[in-house]
Amino acid sequence: MSLYIEAARIIQRPRYGGLRGAVFSDASVKSRPEQLYALIIETLKHQEIINEVLDKSGLLEIEKKLTHALALVLVHDFLFNKGGIATSTGPLKESILRHKSRLTSEFTRARLRRGYSTTAALLAAANATSMRFPRWVRVNTLKTTVADVLARHFSDHKPVRLFEELLSEDMTRKTVYVDEFVPGLLGFPASTELIGHALVADGTLFMQDRASCFPAALLAPPEGAVVVDGTAAPGNKTTHLAAIVGKGGRVLAFEKDPKRAKTLEMMVGKAGAEKIVEVRAGADFLLSDPWSETEKKRLAKVSHILLDPSCSGSGIVERNEYSYIPKTAAPPPAPTSRAGKAKKRKGGEKEETPFVKPLSKKEEEEVAKQAEAEEERLRSLSTFQTRIIKHAMRYPGAHYISYSTCSVHSQENEQVVMAVLSSEVAKQRGWRVQKREETGFRHWPRRGLVEECDGDEEIAGGCVRFDPWADGGIGFFVVLFVRDGSVDGWEGRGFIVFDIEH
């Protein structure tokens, strides 16, 4: 299958996570993944001007065999690639080269309309603004205050009041957005260079994605609280929790993987939170036992638990990615007939079939095998995720548990919430999902999927979702489980580490 047909297939198919994963983990891909990925990224970056060229030249009306996505990738290489379309002669290349002069002149007009005298100037400008996602930094309030950071280090940045203003601003301008949901979170335009910034190096600022700050902010333990981070490394949320509970509080941070625990320790040191955070390196949260003689004094006091367990990572989107905007709302037709073959309409009139080559039997089998493996992986992740929440629900003093994933799959999100709520421990101890109107995030627009919560709007409303494109970062999910009342008659019966309820 040609590079272009593969690129068009990946561009137009529904995608839940990042493009890198879509390209590099697709077993049916025959092209060099690096080349395919670069072609897709670059095409999507320039799709706005290519679309204008397509519209003005009328290419899609004339070349009926070309789908929109296929035309985008071919015209991209025709206009922007030094070597032109990277294939020997063939019907695909011909369908573009037939319109060479028209495409070139429409491109020149579109370029000049944008004020670029050369293609190099247009490319340079596009590359400078290609980072679409804002940069997020969390102010480490153990070391300083937001007001101080803004006044002393970013006084040349113009404050914007709404997040939309940050996105719509020229991403190279000096602006700063103080997040309205997460205290201490600042958003900067994508071009802002923060990686080598002295405040990042000394732990005054933490580069942490917006969505990733929601779990600790939603959990919102009071100052001085004793809290657990059950799955802590590398430590973004642990250090955030430390800043919230402050010097009089305690964060018990479990990390099963000893190597990752080293990073956690380093991060805690950088945050200046060594006296607040107790790193439990190599400790499995699932084996923690708040009734044991050695632990009961400490773990029984824990009121708030943060769980951000391992997940599929399907929400992670790379900063240089753009999403495909289809030309029509309708999905592309399924590739059922052979490539380029004409088929008859009901009235006998011939209809051109889009130039989408169907997968071979072997390729179809590979795709099915891959989908089955992915399903299996999600099943095992969601079993683990459900199990770890149920374990936390047994903690005698716990009243608040935040659960989050950087996954967009409902199997790891709403479906886990529903499985947990129907468990014995949740029912016996009165755990429920905190309602939307009870949280500080009630105005956040994106909530859980009602259909994945068995139609329960209250539960879905209590869940928070992030869309990478609209919310500026990664696809994410977070929910807060709460338990009312302090006495529930629960004496830890059944709290056996290996019990069957797990």
Give the residue, chosen from 77, 308, 412, 452, that forms a contact with ligand SAM under the rule CB under 6 A.
308
Scanning 60-68, 231-239, 467-475, 492-500 for contacts with ligand SAM by CB under 6 A, the matching segment is 231-239
Helix (H, G, I), strand (E, B) or coil at 325: coil
Scanning 55-63, 180-188, 278-286, 293-301 for contacts with ligand SAM by CB under 6 A, the matching segment is 278-286
Cβ atoms within 10 Å, residue 318? 14
To ligand SAM, the closest distance from the beta carbon of 285 in angstroms equals 4
CB-nearer residue toward ligand SAM: 254 or 403: 254
Q: Identify the DSSP state of 281.
A: E
Give the residue, chosen from 52, 257, 374, 456, that forms a contact with ligand SAM under the rule CB under 6 A.
257
| Interface map 188-207 toward ligand SAM (x if CB under 6 A) | --------------------
Give the residue, chosen from 236, 314, 353, 382, that forms a contact with ligand SAM under the rule CB under 6 A.
236
Contact flag: residue 374 with ligand SAM (CB under 6 A): no
452 is in an annotated binding site: no
CB-nearer residue toward ligand SAM: 260 or 262: 260
The CA-atom distances, in angstroms, between 212 and each of 145, 493, 496 are: 20, 35, 32
Give the residue, chosen from 157, 260, 357, 483, that forms a contact with ligand SAM under the rule CB under 6 A.
260
CA distance 145 to 156: 18
CA distance 161 to 159: 7
CA distance 370 to 81: 32
Give the residue, chosen from 52, 169, 284, 289, that forms a contact with ligand SAM under the rule CB under 6 A.
284
Contact flag: residue 175 with ligand SAM (CB under 6 A): no
Q: What is the dihedral of CA 213, 217, 219, 224, to 10 degrees?
A: 120
Contact flag: residue 278 with ligand SAM (CB under 6 A): no
Cβ atoms within 10 Å, residue 80? 19
Size of residue set near ligand SAM by CB under 6 A: 20
Give the residue, chosen from 255, 412, 452, 471, that forms a contact with ligand SAM under the rule CB under 6 A.
255
Q: Identify the DSSP state of 139.
A: E
Contact flag: residue 265 with ligand SAM (CB under 6 A): no
Contact 87, 4 (CB under 8 A): yes
To ligand SAM, the closest distance from the beta carbon of 19 in angstroms equals 21
Give the residue, chosen from 254, 395, 444, 481, that forms a contact with ligand SAM under the rule CB under 6 A.
254
Angle, CA of 236, 399 and 255, to the nearest 5°: 35
To ligand SAM, the closest distance from the beta carbon of 401 in angstroms equals 14
Question: Out of 213, 406, 453, 463, which one is annotated catalytic?
Answer: 406
Q: Which helix (H) or strand (E) holds 402?
A: strand 400-405
CA distance 404 to 208: 15
CA distance 354 to 341: 8
CA distance 47 to 54: 10
Scanning 133-141, 162-170, 249-257, 345-353 for contacts with ligand SAM by CB under 6 A, the matching segment is 249-257
259, with CB counted inside 10 A (0-12, 13-18, 19+), is: exposed
In angstroms, what is the C-alpha Rg of the chain? 26
Scanning 174-182, 227-235, 292-300, 373-381 for contacts with ligand SAM by CB under 6 A, the matching segment is 227-235
Contact 41, 324 (CB under 8 A): no
Q: Tell how far CA 29 is from the center of its chain.
A: 23
432: left (phi over 0), alpha (psi -120 to 50) or beta: beta
Which residues from 317-346 bind ligand SAM, rule CB under 6 A? Answer: none
CB-nearer residue toward ligand SAM: 285 or 324: 285
Contact flag: residue 256 with ligand SAM (CB under 6 A): yes
Give the residue, chosen from 290, 309, 462, 475, that forms a contact with ligand SAM under the rule CB under 6 A.
309
Q: Which residue is nearest to ligand SAM (CB)?
A: 231
Contact 454, 429 (CB under 8 A): no
Q: Identify the DSSP state of 53.
A: H
Using N-to-C axis directions, what is the helix angle for 47-57 and 100-113, rounded to 10°? Answer: 130
To ligand SAM, the closest distance from the beta carbon of 314 in angstroms equals 13
179 is in an annotated binding site: no
Scanning 97-105, 253-261, 357-365, 450-458 for contacts with ligand SAM by CB under 6 A, the matching segment is 253-261
Give the residue, chosen from 192, 204, 231, 413, that forms a contact with ligand SAM under the rule CB under 6 A.
231
To ligand SAM, the closest distance from the beta carbon of 227 in angstroms equals 13
Scanning 133-141, 151-159, 234-242, 425-433 for contacts with ligand SAM by CB under 6 A, the matching segment is 234-242
406 is catalytic: yes
378: left (phi over 0), alpha (psi -120 to 50) or beta: alpha
The CA-atom distances, in angstroms, between 225 and each of 35, 249, 377, 429 are: 51, 5, 36, 21
CA distance 118 to 112: 8
Give the residue, chosen from 226, 286, 317, 417, that forms a contact with ligand SAM under the rule CB under 6 A.
286
Which residue ranges make up the annotated binding site for S-adenosyl-L-methionine?
255, 308
Catalytic positions are 406
Binding residues for ligand SAM (CB under 6 A): 212, 230-237, 254-257, 260, 284-286, 308-310
